[in-house]
Amino acid sequence: MQAPEKPASTSFMLFVAPHRTMFLSGGVMLLVSFAMWALELGARAGLLPAVAWMLPPGWMHALLVTSGVFPFFMFGFLLTAMPRWQGYDEIASGRWVWSWRLLAAGWALAIVGMVVPGLVVPGLVLVLAGWGGVQRILWQVAHHGDLEALHARLVCYALIAGMAAVLAWIGFALTGNPVWARVAIELAVFCSLLPVFFGVCHRMVPFFSSSVIPAYVMVRPPWVMVLVVGGSVLHAGLDVAELQSLRWIVDAPAAVAALWLSWKWRPVPAMKVPLLGMLHIGFLWLGIALALFAIQGLASLLGYRVLGMAPLHALGVGFFGSVLMAMVSRVTLGHSGRKLAADRLTWGLFLGLEGVVVVRIAAELVPAGSSAVVMLLAVLGWLGVFGAWASRYLPIYWRPRSDGRPG
């Protein structure tokens, strides 16, 4: 009688595919970093004792989220999807796992360094080394073969800007000069995250929609990429040059282009399939955020200061956060042998996330005395939504596929 086959160990399953390891790490870091931010906001609201952070808390939050949380998810997606885009062989774990170890160790050290002196810089150096390892792999994939490589190369180049942002954060941690922090944020958000998220949506949303919506025509004009991505990079340059009153010149055309693209992608029929509708709703936030940036820039030109950080959080919580939940849920379900459909919990959590976006934007519009409390409510909502999402999805990463296939 043949002995039953032993189930694969948890540690082995985590390293079967890059999305498993990177998504799990991103989920843990998301919860930890936003819990730290909740502690800070609780202290500001007078509800908790203050924490003596080693970096200014606002910039600590920006560092952990823009250069830590979102990149983990981007790496997991791109190491899984980009080889398929380019007809490249599946990437063996031996090629990327050492980079993950450096990234995980580096961020663990940096997070501890937020309360223990002297650890942030060594942590970020490890992060930079790990990022470079992933970058090397993605560069090879993006420049492989003769297939159309516009999207692959766009996100590959944008990730180089993300590395530059980590370098700028190291400069800030070493010198305390706020210029380095501002440069790091602009590089991370407008030269790395926005181009990557937009590039992935530009390629994948019409592709996914075409298999669901009858008589669907894929609309992916390159000129929209020029307006949105080019405008985003120019936006960063104008911010660094402290020419915020001129940002509307690039933000307004980018907003029109993004909203036009959202309309052409036919979001209304996409709502019949929640997992696809999540992507369309998430992408809509890009046009809204860019429109808010344009309004803010025009108001600045006229001598008014309006909206505060509402445009930035419409972008970060609305666009990045919503697309992250939608895309990572889709990849996780599809690559674990499960039905490619959002269950009631996933759809409900996504709608809850949309409520969090509204609350976070509202925090910039309420009287100053109430702002910290509303911000805290938004962060607690974010933690509640993603905490429930993590309890549903993170265990999948250390379990075998339900259909018995490898991967």
Q: Which alpha helices (DSSP H) does 65-116 contain, by range?
A: 70-85, 93-112
Amino acid at 116: V
| pLDDT for residue 368 | 81
pLDDT of residue 9: 56
Smallest Cα–Cα separation from 195: which of 241, 219, 226, 164?
226
Q: What's the pLDDT tens digit per position in 211-229?
A: 999 999 999 999 999 999 9
Contacts of 330 (CB under 8 A, 6+ apart): 208, 275, 279, 340
Neighbours of 177 (CB within 10 A): 11
Q: DSSP 3-state assignment of 177?
A: coil
Q: What is the pTM of this model?
A: 0.95
What would the pLDDT profile of 245-293 be if each residue is shown by its tens digit? 999 999 999 999 999 999 999 999 999 999 999 999 999 999 999 999 9
pLDDT at 71: 98
- The DSSP H or E segment spanning 247 is none
pLDDT in the model for residue 32: 98
Average pLDDT estimate for 338-362: 96
Distance CA 158, CA 312 (A): 19
Amino acid 2: pLDDT: 38
Structural domains in the chain? 15-398 (1.20.210.10)
> Cα–Cα distance between 397 and 393 in angstroms, integer?
8
Rounded Cα gap, residues 142 and 160, in angstroms: 13
| Rg of the chain on CA atoms, in Å | 21
Instruction: Please name which of 147, 12, 8 lies closest in space to residue 86, comparing C-alpha atoms.
Output: 147
State pLDDT tens for residues 149-201.
Answer: 899 999 999 999 999 999 999 999 999 999 999 999 999 999 999 999 999 99
Contact 325, 389 (CB under 8 A): yes
**Count of CB atoms situated within 10 Å of the CB of 370:** 12
Question: Which is nearest to 142 in space by CA: 155, 129, 161?
Answer: 155
Element (H, E) at 284: helix 274-301
Q: What is the mean pLDDT of residues 21-36?
A: 98
